[in-house]
Chains A and B, each alone.
Chain A
Amino acid sequence: MNLEELKQKMDEAKYVYDDTLATVLAVALKLGRPLLIEGAAGVGKTEIAKVMAHALDRDLVRMQCYEGLDESKALYEWNYQKQLLAIQVDMGRTDSDELTRGLFSDEYLLERPLLKSIRSERPVVLLIDEIDKADEEFEAFLLELLSEMQVSIPEVGTIKAKTIPFVVLTSNRARPLSEALRRRCAYLYIQYPDMEKELAILRAKLPHVDDRLCAQVALAVQKLRGSEAILKKPSIAETLDWAAALDALGIRELTPDALRQTAGFILKNSEDLAVLEQTDVTAPHEHCGHCGGHHHG
């Protein structure tokens, strides 16, 4: 798929992108490299994998990482209960070697996301979400999969990929990832969208919401993100929730009162809410005192 086709597919998915993002995705696709996406929480990293699944017309296989994640949760596990039952049933009827061999066959193998993604008949998009939350050991284990597109299972041997998945890894930079993993990936760093892009996202995702309200919401969110005093910056999803909530409440103008009523959708801790009390984010932009909140890009 070339760059223009990719852009067309993303347009079809109503995904708002810039040229940088489209180029990076096209490069990753061209080179067949996994894509490592870093950025603050809520900038839309996971969304990229979903959009790629749509654009490439593939299934999305998602693996959420967490501390303590191991091979049995990520790659495969033997169906132990089924194996025990098989032993009970076949005891005394089959010779023991054959029974042992049979116990470690596909029939008793429980596929987890990684194995599923490489054994799939149709290529998939594999999302390894928040890799920074997994342990370093797990990262090392991923190396074989990402570079050779194969995994080793001691009882079975090496399993090579039937189809090559498009792999997307996301990280919030909670811990530095190993150089070895980074080197195998194409890299994308994304920041919060600017005013123009945020407004475009609001319009694309919430077409029924009043344009003026969207502009006011986008402007207020930009101000909140720009404030050093706000510790947890609002994410894009929170912006969308907030605009939808304002619309659902029938609010057409983002007044200080309306902001107070709905602040819980956009700020999620008490310190930030206290800061909001002292700041007027609904005031028009300082460079443009007379506008009602048109976008400033």
Chain B
Amino acid sequence: MGDPGIYLEKLALFSRLLRQEGLPVSPRETADASRVLMEFGLGDREQVKTALRTVYASSRQEQLVFDRVFDGFFISEEAMREQARQRARQEAEAAQAREDAAKDLQVGGEPMDLSPEQMDTYVSMPEEARQKLRRFMEKYRSTAERNPELYSNFIHSVFTKTLLEQQLLMEDAGLGAEAADPEIGLLFRDISQFGDHEIPKAISIIQTVSRQINGELTAKRKRSGHSGKLDFRRTIRKGLETGGSFYRLHYKKKRHRRKRLVVLCDVSGSMVQFSEFALRFIQSLNQVSESSRVFLFSEQMTEADAFSLQNMDLFRSHVRDSGVYGKGTDLGSALEKICAMEPAALNSSTTLLILSDTKTIDQPRAVAALQNAKRQSGRVLWLNPIPESHWQHIRSVQVFSSLCSMVSCSTLGSLAAACRKLTV
């Protein structure tokens, strides 16, 4: 081993990188890591990696982050040269592609006004998609001669929209380290992307997590203590066991009221998988399941009974038989019906839970109905399967999220976190 000072300096830098990646690394970890390196030496790369991982990472997720940072930081000289060569090659290719793109994207002989990110997106698009855009420009070329400014604005807006969609698609395709984990990866992946073969695994994860939430609630109830009133009867009775001395005082327990929940569940074509998973979670929560009512809606609305929510097959056949499946979405009409129910479905002690992607016909009516429902119920919570990073681009999400608390639930992990909130 060479000068230890150099290694310690590198180790401190490595710790800083890990911290930047979100790992809670304190000086203690760095000190421990240096002790470990002194003990094991630097001869075997895999051994060093394992030893440092033991010190720095304290969960499976952190291990995955650690591996990524370590592989990027401690690389062999040969690998470093190869990476540099590869990067130079990629940069040359990218520069050429950008030049070609600049030639493609000209309006009236002038380069189109696109940001560098948009230009990069165009470069990374598949050739087929680029051809489609070029054909589109060609089609409207004659208009350019008549009104160059209008043409330029129009083409620009179409390009921006297409590039944005492409960017979102690429974001969705890129899986994080957690999503690649074979055991818990499903917790971090978009529910709508689950394949049929992954559904049993997803259900088993839901069962585990809901058991966990139920366990936490039981523990919380146990901890929440007594009502403050002495239970004379139990204290005297227990005192008899210890010769009449009141060794332990017993108190009356607090009474716990179950939460009342009204679930309004969108079962239009794109939402049915998400709704199925969300309902599974909600039904398995002891705290809310017995006192909840579930309404399914698309253009019409129908109430689902507990029997039809027992398993996935029953739920799907119930949705199909009820005639609400696969139609458009009319949230306004569904909310109006719930608000007008006799006896009232909503009151100050109920939580109205809406499972929907906010896409509805007649948005103004839906907004008015939601405001009315909010007045009638104690609390309104909206579970939205659209990832939060996309919200800023969707107008309906912005409108509804300003009216009630909306939680993004695109993954089982976030759905579980939202269900925890329900029981608070």
Contact = CB atoms under 8 A, between A and B. Distances in A.
B116 interface: no
Nearest to B213: A175
Contact of A175 (B32, B63, B212): B212
Interface residues of A, number: 37
B252 to A, nearest CB: 20
Contact of B242 (A3, A68, A84): A84
Interface of A is mostly: mixed
B219 interface: yes
B211 interface: yes
Given A30-B36, A38-B60, A68-B222, A179 B24 contact: yes
Nearest to A186: B54
Interface in A1-28: 2-3, 19-20, 23-24, 26-28
A228 B200 contact: yes
A189 B61 CA distance: 10
A30 B50 contact: no
A291 interface: no
B197 to A, nearest CB: 5
B219 A67 contact: yes
A36 B50 CA distance: 15
Contacts of B216: 175
Contacts of B211: 174
Nearest to B243: A84
Nearest to A187: B58
With most chain A CB atoms within 10 A of its CB, the pick from B36, B51, B54 is: B54
Interface in A181-215: 182-183, 185-189, 191
A19 B40 CA distance: 13
Contacts, number: 89
A135 B223 contact: yes
A110 interface: no
Contacts of B219: 67-68, 135-137
Contacts of A182: 58-59
A104 to B, nearest CB: 15
A3, A135, A136, A185 — which one has the most chain B CB atoms within 10 A of its CB?
A: A135
B215 A228 contact: no
B54 A23 contact: yes
A135 B198 CA distance: 31
10 contacts: A2-B39, A19-B47, A174-B208, A179-B24, A182-B58, A182-B59, A187-B54, A187-B63, A191-B183, A228-B198
Given A26-B51, A31-B35, 10 more contacts: A23-B51, A28-B54, A80-B247, A135-B222, A174-B212, A182-B58, A185-B58, A187-B58, A228-B197, A231-B204
